[in-house]
Structures are given as C-alpha cells and as structure tokens.
Chain A
Amino acid sequence: MRQGFLSRNPSVLVFLLILALFTLGVTLLSHAYGSAFLSTSFIKTLGKTLCLCLVALAMDLVWGYAGILSLGHMAFFALGGYMIGMWLMYARTEEIVVQALANAPLPATPQEISNGVASQIFGVVGGAELPAVWTFAHSLPLQLALVVLVPGLLALAFGWLAFRSRVTGVYLSILTQAMTLALALHLFQNDSGLRGNNGLSGLQNIPGLGGVSQDRLSVWFFWASAAALALGYLLAAWLVSGKFGSVLRAIRDDEQRVRFLGYSVEGYKLFIFTFTAVVAAVAGALYYPQAGIINPAELAPIASIYLAVWVAIGGRGRLYGAVIGAAFVSLLSTWFTGGRAPDVNLGFATIQWVDWWQILLGLAFVLVTLLAPQGIGGLFDWAAGLRHPARRGAPLGPAEGALQEREATE
C-alpha cells in the first residue's frame, strides 16, 4: 500500500508545526495583536529572516540536491525585490502627487500626474521621464507577474546557455557570479532606469494602506512570509521526495552516469535552476517591503556567497538544514553586527564583535566545510543515533550514501 506524502516525510509535518507555533507566538507577543513584548523593528527582522529562509531553501534545492553551486540566487532575490519595489514606489508617489495636485485650480490630467510621478522618482538621478522598464509599474497584477517572469526568464535564458554548453562545477559557479556582477554593475548606472545606486526607497509604505500603522503591517508581512515559507517548504519537500528528487540527487553525485542512463540532465537542471530562481524572487518580493529600501549593493556577488554560507552551515541536502542555517546565521549576524554583543576583553586587546564577527564567520565556515560537511543538520542525525559507516575519507556529497573519496579515486 502506498503511503501518503506526509507519512513518508514526517519531518515536513514537524517543520510546519514548529513554524505555526512560532508564528502564533510572535503574533501574541507583537505590538499590534498581543502583549507588545517584541518591538516592531524586531518583528520586521523576524519577517525578513523568514524570507531569507525561503531563499536558502531555494539555494538548498539547487545546490544541496542538484549540485549546482549557483552564486546568482541573491541576484534573483533582489530582482524580485526590484520588481515589487517599482510598483510600491510608483503607486506611493502617485498618491502623493495626486494629493499635491488636488489643490490646483484645475483637476490634473493623467499626463500631468505621470509627469509629476516621473520627476518625483527620477529627479534624484537627473531625469524627468519614466524609462521603458517602468511601463507596467502602475499596475499591481502586471508587476506581480513580472516578479515571477523577469527572474524566471533570466534564469531560463542563462541556464539554457550554460547547461547546453555543459558548463559545470566551479566553472558554472564563476559564471553565475559573473552574471550577478554584471547585473549589479548594470543597476549601478544612473541610466539603467532604476535610479542607479540610490535604489528604490520608501517601500515600507504600502499604497492604499496609508491608514494602517507599521505595527500592524509588520505582523501582516510576517504572516505572509511565514505562509510563503510553509508553502515553499511543502513544494520543495514534495519535489525532492519523488522520482524527480531522486534524479536530481543522482545528477549531483554523477552527472555522466545519469546522462548515460537516458535522462535529460540539462532539462532537469534547467527546471530546478529556473524554479528556484522564481522562489528566490518571491522571497525577495516579500523581503524588500519589510526592509524598506533596495539598492544595487544588495546584488553584490558577496550576498550570494553568504547565501551559500548559510546553507552550508545549516546543512546541505536537507531542507530543514537550509532553513535552520539561514535563520541561525542571519539572526546571529544581526546580533553581532548590531553592536549588542558584549565586547570581549583579552587584557591586551578588546574584541569588538562588530569588527570581528565576519572573521569569526569566515573561519567558522572554513571549519564547517572541512570538518562537518553535514552542518548543523548533522546534530539531528547524531541525536537520532544515526551513524554513518566508516568508509575512510570524506564524502564527496553532503548526503548519506554519497560517494567517498577513496571510492571515487578508483
């Protein structure tokens, strides 16, 4: 008898339960709906962290399961943010301009309003006209479609080019990093049509919800982020639990062999690359309204590297590992860089964590890579009493059963 999806994957149920409890707890401690124990800015941080967990989930799918170390997923994340940011900024500015023009003796024509919006948004980079990329910015449904379409099509085109010419392994990583860098450099230009290095700002003000306080908005976005993460987790767990997931893992462990078995490796890789790009973009679209501002620095290649760091520390090849890694490292990072961590006095020198946190993170990352490829997720195996057979040599892949060094050599 065939078991149900959830009974085959009890960890999904546990994860969803924990997420639900967490959401409930945060809501009850919030300013708007509970005891006001947590500040609004902290709720925003938690909401943003959930979005980062979602993009880490995407990264885990593409790297931990399919073995494609993409250094471009934070670019897709930021692109999603830009797409939603365009609507937020346009609609919000339109509200302000309409309000300002309402006092004029003549009611404003549509042309006057759009001119006013354009000069408000682009005055800072010396422009007065809406560039062509803003064509759909007036409409929420169209712009929401672009959140999915733009990163999706970019990933599709890039992936098709890269996978078709059999660019794999480190070459692919470097190529995706180059793509990210190109995109960031493009957005840094003032005439890219997205306000150059000023980026888009004021995104925390949701048009049409001017009367709703940020206290409430932050909780709403927190719910939305939690829902997106739950949905993403279910989808990802469903994807990797079936035959599709097995083929993905097989591609990771030995691409050639899978190809010889008759599978279209390129098709699988292209699908997972594009799908995760879209998930990353959705996460970005939820993240940036909570952050309030987006600029091209968010696309810097280093951001995508940090994403890989989170997933690696959490534990690749298991979905909850990615979520734990992203939440743990990004919250810890906020704590350390926020100046709240106590200084350590060594007598001859004082360690200020704002300065030393990145060194700690870098070294921790090296140690995890060297000594604990399973990451934090390995702790669960240890607690459950799972032991891996001693096959001498380190495993080539992160999951159980991955080829070991000695085996691969011969």
Chain B
Amino acid sequence: MRFVLILLAVVLAPLSVHAQGTPAAQILSENRALVERASRQTIGPVIEALAASGDPAAVTILDAWANRGLGLRAADGAFFLIAPAEGGWALTDLDGAPAGTAARAEIDQLRPNSGVRGLIATALVRFQLADPDPARRSAAMESIARDPSAEHLEPLRAALAQTPDPALARLERLLTLRFGATPEERVAAIDSFGADLGLDLRAALNPLVATRRLAIRGEAENLNIARNLVPGRDLTREEAYDLLVAQGDAPARLTLQAQRETLVGQIRDGQAAGIPVADLDSQEARDRAYTALEAQGAVPAAATEDEVTAALEAHRFAEVYAEPDRAVTEAASAALTRIGRTVGLMQAADLALDAASLASIYFLAAIGLAITFGVMRVINMAHGEFIMMGAYTGYVTQLWIADYTISILVALPLAFAVTFAAGVAMERLVIRHLYRRPLETLLATFGISIALQQLAKNIFGTQARPLTAPAWLDGALSFNDVVSISYIRIAIFVLALIFLGVFLIIMKRTRLGLEVRAVTQNPSMAASMGINPDRINMLTFGLGSGIAGVAGVAIGLFAKVTSELGQDYIVQSFMTVVVGGVGNIWGTLAGAAMIGGAQKGIEWLNPSNTLAAQTYMILLIIIFIQFRPRGIIALKGRAAGD
C-alpha cells in the first residue's frame, strides 16, 4: 500500500507544481526568501498580501504557517501544508489537494518566531470575525478586547458589514472611541454608550481621562490641560518642588540623610565645621554646621527657601491629559460622571441587598434566642453552641449521605431534633432550678457553653469542617456588573422568612402558642387553668434550641464550621434581641434589619476594615440602648413584666 502511495506521489509531483498557481501560492513563491527567514520587521507586507488575496485557502495557509504546519520542499522550492506522518511528512497542496508524503529531510519546516506569529494572528482576526461559527467569532472578539489596537478597527468594521452582531458592534464602538480617526467620530462613539455600566466601557474610557502633573515654564501649547494647580492650595509646596526636581528643572533639596552624610564626610579631627562631633546631637546644631560649611565653600549650597519660592513662581503647575484632543476628553469625563452616578445608585441597591442578607443571617441566629430570652426571659449563653451543634449535625449528615441536596434536606430536621433534645435536657437539668435567678442562669449556661465548645473541639478537632451547599446553590444572581447576590444568601433570606412564618403560626394559631403566651404572662394563673407550666417551659426552650440548630445548618453553609462558630454570633444575637425589644418577634426582625443595615453602612464608609465596622456597630448599639433601653418595639402594660 505504501508503495502505491509513493508511486502516486511520484506521478502526481509534476501536477502539484502546477497547483502552485493559486494566488496565495504565487505570493508565497514570489517572496520565498522573505518567508523562509521571516522576521517581524519585513514579513508584514507578505502576510497582508496573503490576507488580502481573496484566495479561499489563505486562512488555512496562514493558520498552518503560525502552527508550524507549512513546509518548503528543498528540491523545487514549492510550499506545502505538512502534517507529521509515519516516516516523514504528509503533504497537502496549498489548494487542499493531497500531495503524498515526503521524507523528513526533503522538507524544510517553517518555524516562525513569536513576533511573526503575532502578525499572522492579527491578520487572521478578520477572517475569524467573519466566521459563521459564533464560538470562533466570540473567541476572536475576546482576543481583541484583551489587547485592543488600532489595526483591529478595519477588520472589525469589515466583519460588521457582513454580520450585524450586537457584540461585534459594541466592540467596534469601544475601539472607535479609543482609536477612531477623527475626534467627532470618537465623541459620537462615547456618547452612544450613555450611562452603560459595562466594565469594558470604563476600561476604555479611563485611559482617555488619565492625567499627569506637569510643571510648565512659560506658555504651554498643544497641551490638553485638565486643571491648573496652585502650589499651597491644590498641592503642597514640597510636592510642587519635588515635581520640578523630577523634571530636572531645579536642583534637589537637601534631605536630612544627605546632610548627615555630607557632615560625616567633613569630619576633621573630631570636628565638623569647627563644631565638635559630640555636639551635633540636635538638628539645629547640624544645620549650623552645614551653614558654616556652605560659607566656607566646602559643600555645594543647598536650595534655600527663597530659591524654592522663585522656582515655584517661575512655573505653572497643571494636570495634563495624556489624550491631546479636548473634545474627546470632555466627552469621556462627562460619560464617566454619568456612569459614576448610575454606578452609585447600583451600589446603593447592592448594599441594600447585602444588608438584607446580613440582617437575615442575624435574624436566623437570633430567632431561637427571641423565644428563650424574649418569651421565657431565660438567658441562654449556650445558644451559640446550639447553632454550632446544628452546623456539625449538617457536617456529620454529609459524611453519611453523599448527595448534597438530600443530605441538606435530611440535616435540617435532624439538626432540629438534636438541638431540641439538647435544649430539653438542659432545661430539665439546669435551667428549671434557676428560673428566679437570671444572673445564675447566665453563669450556668456559660459553664455549659464552655464545656460544649471543648467537647466539639475534642470530637471534631480544631480545623474547620466543610459543610458543602448543593450545586444548585452555587453561583450568584447578577442583575448587572454591579448588583449581584449569591444564591446561598437568597436561600438564607427565604429560610429566615419561613422561620418568621413558622414562629408566627406556632405562637398565634396553635394550642402550644396559646399556652406559651399564657405561661409567659402569668405562670400561676396559667397553672390554675390546667396548663402545666413546667411542660410548657420545657417545650418552649426545646423549640428555641431546635430553631437555633436549624439556623446552624444554614449558617454552616457559608461560614466555616468550627467549635467557635457559635461564639461569633452570640453577642450579635443578644444585641439583635435587645435592640429589637424583648418579647416581640417583629422587634427582633427590626433589630436584625437595623444591625445588618448599620453594619453594611459602616463597612461602606470604610470598606477595607470589617473589624472597625463591627467595633463601631457595637458602640452604636450601646449608645442606641441609651435612648431606647427597651428596644425598638417595647412591650407595654402588664406584658412588660414590671
């Protein structure tokens, strides 16, 4: 078989020489020497001619060339598309007809350097832009957007004429506003965007309004000045003088470092300028010594204050646009202002979303507390540990059930059951005996909290355990480049709403809720009506603890599950309940909204520092309690207890 192929190749060889007659092949063979030793400086016209030849094979040829798939037969100087084959190269003619095989030695493989490859890639872009395959088109557009240059504009417009693609049109306008031929064209391109929020637009506009500071002597021409700077008002005298020094228009000032080095160099017999070295331990003494040396002419005179003033007065200072055209810079800065305003609005919306999400987390963490503390007036400092228990229950469930969706669905009721049981046990063993002594309850539950935390550390170790959210909760819902919110946060928001609903239904629509409210208001009267207060207290405490466990699963989805998980939320949770107003679920909601909103607001004012935000948040709460000691929604009358 191979023999036949070789025979065929031999017979067809003369034919293939004829095939070199396509336009692309002609260009290549005419510039054979250039192509063989291609360099970035010289090869440009050849590539351009190839691309413009209109030959349908030109794309294939250029592509093959860039990928080392173009070869030159040493014998007759004919070009082939080559591919590695057994024992050598499989040859294909430039017009696409197979041309047999050849031994490795017969063919010179062309290996263009990276510069040449870059030129070829630029030439190829116009073909890719017109490619019917949208995937290849968008790949080409991406490569242009990554590294835009003036050369891309022409092919882009040509491609746009063929295929009216909105993404292509947007890219064309983005390039026009930077590289367009006339200012009018560019201004029109800028204005066409309006207050578009795209990051690519801002990336294109920002270089247009980039400025640098210049010190100008005399009249300045051809400078697009953004604004004039007055030393002492817009910039300090030091900055202005440093600018002069940097531009080489003024001698450098004497720094303390240079002064010290000069003085060290002038020490003679333990004295510098006649002053004993031991006395040079203050700045005044050193200045005196330096002035004395200047008077002797031993050191170059440093710029005095008068000289600095004169130099500053001789110059004008201005911020100058790098972009020379005034109309373009004006249009660009107007567009940026417009965009800035819209972005500000969007950021406010984003902030509101963030605040709502944080508020729902606080609400979730606090709602169990709103029951145990708000309804029963029992301080449970181990509440945070119940949240932690819920999160660990979720983790253990995931160890047993691999499917994340099912395991979360199993974990939620399981966490409720576990923490409900823990809460009931705690109520029976400890809290029941301390109902009349709230401070002691606080202490005893602290003891339990310490023990539970250490127990979790002993069982699960100190490192964070993963509680993975199901895949459908990954990602974020984004409205545009500024406003977005992750699905997990939406899920937590929804969960918080569900909890609110469940709480309201239990308290207002069930027998249990009725009895709980009765026991809260007057235990002995409730008891004489046939309600067992002990049982109700136990159930209420269990309910509050169980809700904390479910909240723990939710919180574990986005926070690290460690034994300190609960501790991070306990103070905030108490704050939420206290700020909102004890004994009222709407108060807890209001408290969570206020704390979440305020914390996000403070973070917005000082974005780099969430620690500071938390600090100020707590201070704010302490001050707030001064004005409304009973919280936002205060109970009135007999229900208030006193």
Binding site for B on A (CB under 8 A): 67, 69, 105-111, 158, 161, 164-167, 169-171, 173-175, 177-179, 181-182, 185-186, 188-189, 191, 301-302, 305, 308-309, 312, 355-356, 358-359, 361-366, 369-370, 373, 394, 396, 405, 408-409
The 9 closest A-B pairs by CB, nearest first: A362-B451, A365-B447, A362-B450, A182-B618, A358-B454, A107-B281, A366-B447, A362-B447, A369-B444
Q: Are A366 and B622 in contact (CB under 8 A)?
A: no
Known: A301-B571, A369-B434. A167 touches B625 (CB 8 A): yes
Please classify the interface of chain B as helix (H, G, I), strand (E, B), loop, or mixed, using the class held by over half of its residues.
Answer: helix
Q: Are B436 and A396 in contact (CB under 8 A)?
A: yes
Please classify the interface of chain A as helix (H, G, I), strand (E, B), loop, or mixed, using the class held by over half of its residues.
Answer: helix
Known: A106-B263, A355-B454. A178 touches B614 (CB 8 A): no
A-B contact pairs, 27 of them (CB 8 A): A67-B439, A105-B264, A106-B260, A106-B272, A106-B286, A158-B622, A161-B622, A165-B629, A171-B625, A174-B571, A174-B578, A178-B571, A178-B575, A178-B621, A181-B618, A301-B571, A302-B450, A356-B458, A361-B450, A362-B447, A364-B447, A365-B450, A366-B448, A370-B433, A370-B444, A396-B436, A408-B436
Q: Are B454 and A179 in contact (CB under 8 A)?
A: no
Q: Are B447 and A179 in contact (CB under 8 A)?
A: no
Q: Are A308 and B443 in contact (CB under 8 A)?
A: yes
User: Per-position contact with A for B268-312: 1 when CB-CB < 8 Å, else 0?
Assistant: 000010000110111100100000000000000000000000000
Q: Are B609 and A169 in contact (CB under 8 A)?
A: no
Known: A105-B267, A106-B280, A175-B625. A69 touches B444 (CB 8 A): no
Distance in angstroms from B389 CB to nearest chain A CB is 15
Greatest chain B CB density within 10 A among A110, A177, A182, A405 is at A182
Distance in angstroms from B588 CB to nearest chain A CB is 15
Distance in angstroms from A160 CB to nearest chain B CB is 10
- How far is A365 from B448 in the complex, measured between Cα atoms in Å? 8
Distance in angstroms from B614 CB to nearest chain A CB is 5
- How far is A272 from B612 in the complex, measured between Cα atoms in Å? 31
Q: Are B455 and A359 in contact (CB under 8 A)?
A: yes
Q: Which residues of A contact B618 (CB under 8 A)?
A: 178-179, 181-182, 185
**Chain B contact patch, size range:** 35 or more
Q: Does B440 contact A (CB under 8 A)?
A: yes
- How far is A312 from B453 in the complex, measured between Cα atoms in Å? 20
- Partner of A363 from B451, B612, B614 at Cβ < 8 Å: B451
Q: Are B629 and A189 in contact (CB under 8 A)?
A: no
Q: Which residues of A contact B282 (CB under 8 A)?
A: 109-110
- How far is A16 from B616 in the complex, measured between Cα atoms in Å? 45
- Partner of A174 from B264, B272, B451, B574 at Cβ < 8 Å: B574
Q: Which residues of B contact A177 (CB under 8 A)?
A: 571
Q: Does B446 contact A (CB under 8 A)?
A: yes
Q: Are B280 and A170 in contact (CB under 8 A)?
A: no
Q: Does B425 contact A (CB under 8 A)?
A: no
Q: Which residues of B contact A169 (CB under 8 A)?
A: 438-439
Distance in angstroms from B383 CB to nearest chain A CB is 12
Q: Does B480 contact A (CB under 8 A)?
A: no
Q: Are B286 and A109 in contact (CB under 8 A)?
A: yes
- How far is A191 from B611 in the complex, measured between Cα atoms in Å? 11
Q: Are A362 and B454 in contact (CB under 8 A)?
A: yes
Q: Which residues of A contact B452 (CB under 8 A)?
A: 362
Q: Which residues of B contact A373 (CB under 8 A)?
A: 440
Q: Which residues of A contact B451 (CB under 8 A)?
A: 358-359, 361-363, 366
